[in-house]
Amino acid sequence: MRILVTGHDGQVAQALAEQAQGHELVFTRFPEFDLSKPETIEAAVARIQPELIVSAAAYTAVDKAESEPELAMAINGDGPGVLARAGAKIGAPIIHLSTDYVFDGSLDRPWREDDPTGPLGVYGATKLAGEQAVQASGGTHAVLRLAWVYSPFGANFVKTMLRLAETRDALNVVEDQRGCPSSALDIATAILTVVDHWQREGTTSGLYHFTGSGETNWADFARAIFAESARHGGPVAEVTGIPTSGYPTPAQRPANSRLDCTRFAETFGYRAPQWQDSLAVVVARLFGGAAASR
Ligand SMILES: NC(=O)c1ccc[n+]([C@@H]2O[C@H](COP(=O)([O-])OP(=O)(O)OC[C@H]3O[C@@H](n4cnc5c(N)ncnc54)[C@H](OP(=O)(O)O)[C@@H]3O)[C@@H](O)[C@H]2O)c1
């Protein structure tokens, strides 16, 4: 199947590139393909003639978005709608990636797909607009809300922690935001599971949550990263948990980012591994080896 994947160097795009054997993946590159420029989106779809689209590119700078709301909305809110409509015109369904930041974090249980949204910042609001534009496109779509994405690729929390530990013995990390770390390697598996399911059973539209299994907070996530790093002789730092108020950022984050992934598991038959197991795989890759036995 010919699949157009937006973004080239993104975490999820790179994980897909590794795993999508049996499919022809065509990646877009910025700035030739620019989600803030509708004509470049339509031209790419017309040229590539995909049978399916994975909408993985986004404006992901959560704090910077607070000072660039118009650009973030063009890329995250409007662009996916243009892409989904261009796909719909040629019968190409779309798998669109969204975020836990569409929620305000106030619930005391994992968020389900039908819970009320209420983004706390510009990034979340623009991603919510993107979901809605894809859902209104008239084409078949799966919207996958993700959270806390890390991988061997690009920039992410795991790589930041390891980098900081090279020069610092102790780090303060927020411990009152809960969520589940999600390996882009598992996300790529989830996306390809949807593709296979659609090929076998036909396409249907839906909204789904997909994250790693289990839950943690950022401080315990950091401690787990250093425990894995130690197994490979990598850098470690002492982690002190601090409240969100001790680490002010331009964008407010949800206190509870946990997503209930039951609907995805029941529909597609795949649930991500426990987050600690997926973390071990990624840290091992960063140190050029296999995951140490736990
Ligand atoms: N990272 C997270 O923790 C997280 C959490 C929840 C949901 N998500 C969602 O998951 C998806 C994948 O995230 P990710 O972590 O893989 O993203 P990422 O690594 O930040 O990559 C984003 C990609 O978007 C591309 N891009 C940025 N601006 C663009 C524009 N104007 N036009 C076209 N492409 C543009 C970038 O291209 P260049 O490489 O050329 O810059 C890059 O390839 C996104 O939809 C994101 O919102 C991410």
> What ligand 1 atom has the least distance to the C-alpha of 154?
19
Angle between helices 79-89 and 38-48 (to 10 degrees): 30
| Global pTM value | 0.96
For residue 294, the model assigns a pLDDT of 42
> What ligand 1 atom has the least distance to the C-alpha of 157?
3
Choose the catalytic residue: 123, 150, 208, 247.
123
Centre of ligand 1 to C-alpha 96, Å, is 12
For residue 36, the model assigns a pLDDT of 98
Which pLDDT tens digit goes with each residue over 14-36?
A: 999 999 889 999 999 999 999 99
> What ligand 1 atom has the least distance to the C-alpha of 58?
24
- Looking at the predicted structure, is the pLDDT value of residue 219 above 60? yes
Q: Is there a cis peptide before residue 69, judged by omega within 30 degrees of 0?
A: no
Which pLDDT tens digit goes with each residue over 160-217?
A: 999 999 999 999 999 999 999 999 999 999 999 999 999 999 999 999 999 999 999 9
**Which residue's CA is minimally distant from atom 40 of ligand 1?**
30
Substitution site in 18, 30, 128 for ligand 1 pocket (most atoms within 8 Å of beta carbon): 30
**Which residue's CA is minimally distant from atom 8 of ligand 1?**
99
Centre of ligand 1 to C-alpha 293, Å, is 32
pLDDT level of residue 229 (50, 70, 90 thresholds): very high
Told to judge if 123 belongs to the known catalytic residues of this protein, a careful annotator would answer yes
CA angle 187, 193, 198 (to 5 degrees): 135
pLDDT above 90 coverage of the chain, percent = 96
Centre of ligand 1 to C-alpha 194, Å, is 20
CA angle 15, 93, 50 (to 5 degrees): 70
Helix/strand/coil for 160: helix
**Which residue's CA is minimally distant from atom 28 of ligand 1?**
59
Which pLDDT tens digit goes with each residue over 53-66?
A: 999 999 999 999 99
> Which one of 3.40.50.720, 3.40.630.190, 3.30.70.580, 3.40.50.150 gives the CATH number of domain 2-292?
3.40.50.720
Q: How many CA atoms lie within 13 A of 2 on its CB side?
A: 11
Query: Cα separations (Å) of 143 from 56, 159, 194, 210, 221?
Result: 11, 27, 11, 10, 26
Report the alpha-carbon distance of residue 270 to residue 89 in Å, rounded: 30
Which pLDDT tens digit goes with each residue over 261-292?
A: 999 999 999 999 999 999 999 999 999 876 65
Substitution site in 18, 35, 60 for ligand 1 pocket (most atoms within 8 Å of beta carbon): 60
Cβ(120)–Cβ(254) under 8 Å? Answer: yes
Centre of ligand 1 to C-alpha 97, Å, is 9
- Looking at the predicted structure, is the pLDDT value of residue 3 above 70? yes
Give the chain's length.
Answer: 294
Report the alpha-carbon distance of residue 208 to residue 263 in Å, rounded: 6
Centre of ligand 1 to C-alpha 233, Å, is 31
Token pair listed for 262? 């039951």
- Looking at the predicted structure, is the pLDDT value of residue 80 above 60? yes
Mean pLDDT over each residue of the chain, to the nearest integer: 96
Centre of ligand 1 to C-alpha 7, Å, is 7
Report the alpha-carbon distance of residue 215 to residue 180 in Å, rounded: 5
φ, ψ (nearest 5 deg) of residue 256: -120, 105
- Looking at the predicted structure, is the pLDDT value of residue 293 above 60? no
Question: Using a 6 Å CB cutoff, which residues line ligand 1?
Answer: 6-13, 30, 33-36, 56-60, 75, 97, 99, 127, 146-149, 154
For residue 166, the model assigns a pLDDT of 96
Alpha helices per DSSP H over the chain? 11-19, 38-48, 69-72, 79-89, 122-135, 157-165, 184-201, 218-231, 262-268, 275-286
